[in-house]
Amino acid sequence: MTRATSTIPFSTIKFIDNIPRLSDLTERLTQKLREIRMELNQREPDRMTAGRAQSRYDLITDVDTIRIKRRAMRYLERLHNSTGTQHLPQRDEALLTPLRGGLPVARIVTEHEADEIAAALHAEMPWMAPATEVVWHGLRASARKQLPGLRFDPLVLVGSPGIGKSFWARRLAHHLEVPTTSIDATGEPAAFSLVGAQRGWGSASPGKLIQTVLRERHAGPIVIIDELEKSGNVQSTQGSRHTLTDALLPLLERMTAETWECPYYQIRVDMSWANWVMTANSRWGLPAPLISRCIVLDLPDLTGSQLRTFIEAQGAKRSLPRVAIDATSDAIQRAIAAGRTPSLRTVSRMLDHVELQTHRQLLQ
């Protein structure tokens, strides 16, 4: 089924078609003044000089021309200033055209719809029940309040590597039919990667958040930030420090997110419909201001039974033969018996390999 959507006024910038050139506007104003004065000459014969009417070219003086050009320049300046993008190069201004007319956000119409989404997600990954429950309650509240979009509390999922925290977030986005963007807090300047860098920095560019909104033409993506506790900071040559926490705090608060200013484009946009799933391997290193704005969930390691359930579900989804599913389950069972419980990431790679081999045999 296709998820219902609402369109929100994502930004206050204005799109004005066919802004005239200065020369064209000046010519129009000059012609209008000439017509007015010619009409006055026709109504007032005493304007005749030495028995002869003034030439149509004599109706506009040099002083008039200067005043017309000055007025045209002021008008165009006010017109450009009213767009909210007058400070941007033409190329960057063109990149914002997807914002014309607002952007859609996914909407949960009924609480029953929220129940169905949560049930489908829980069936796929039952060990992620604490996270699924938080989202479920958020979706039901969105439907009950008849919000134009869907919302749930920002989540920090704490657990061992490879238990499926990020995979769960992507499956959630799949069921909600919303786009995602992912940020590795350890492998990149996470603050700049998320929100972008303003002009003046050597690496000035828009962040993944606004890029996703513009590319997908959707105002309610799910933002996935991996290994949150390991994020560092970036320091400018002037000594100012920029951390991921500094970038996140105004985005996690609904009120400030509604009027968030993009550092790169320097326009205000409504990011309050973005939803957040962050992951960490431990609570150690998580900033207190961030924890106070999120629901932090400690997730247990996967059991052998849960891994086998995952293999069964994924095997059926990938249309793998029964013998391949059983062989994968047996391999996992042997690893567990030897005291090496594999991660969900390892199991997923095994299934990818089995799927590749199965289809390769079918083609031969």
Q: Please write the tens of the pLDDT for every residue from 158-211.
A: 999 999 999 999 999 999 999 999 999 987 688 899 999 876 655 788 999 999
How far from the centroid of its chain's Cα atoms is residue 137's Cα? 23
Q: Return the pLDDT at 233.
A: 59
pLDDT at 240 over 60: no
Strand partners, 269: 11, 260
Identify the CA nearest to 8 among candidates 96, 83, 106, 84: 106
Transcribe 46-91 into DSSP letters.
GG-BTTBPPPTTTTS-HHHHHHHHHHHHHHHHHHHHHHS-TTS-HH
Rounded to the nearest 5 percent, the helix, strand and coil shares of the chain are: 50, 15, 35
Enumerate the domain spans of the chain: 103-298, 304-363
Average pLDDT, the chain: 88
Contact 209, 223 (CB under 8 A): yes
The least confident of 200-214, 232-246, 292-306, 333-347 is 232-246
Element at 124 (helix H, strand E): helix 111-124
pLDDT at 19 over 90: no
The least confident of 103-107, 188-192, 341-345 is 188-192
**Distance between CA atoms of 166 and 150, rounded to whole angstroms?**
20
Percent of the chain with pLDDT over 70: 90
- Of the pLDDT bands very low, low, confident and very high (cuts 50, 70, 90), residue 46 is low
pLDDT at 33 over 80: yes
pLDDT at 95 over 50: yes
Mean pLDDT of the region 81-101: 90
Q: Please write the tens of the pLDDT for every residue from 77-88.
A: 888 788 888 888
How far from the centroid of its chain's Cα atoms is residue 201's Cα? 22
Contact 249, 290 (CB under 8 A): yes
Assigned architecture for domain 103-298: 3-Layer(aba) Sandwich (3.40)
Identify the CA nearest to 172 among candidates 212, 124, 130: 124
For residues 146 and 57, the model is more confident at 146
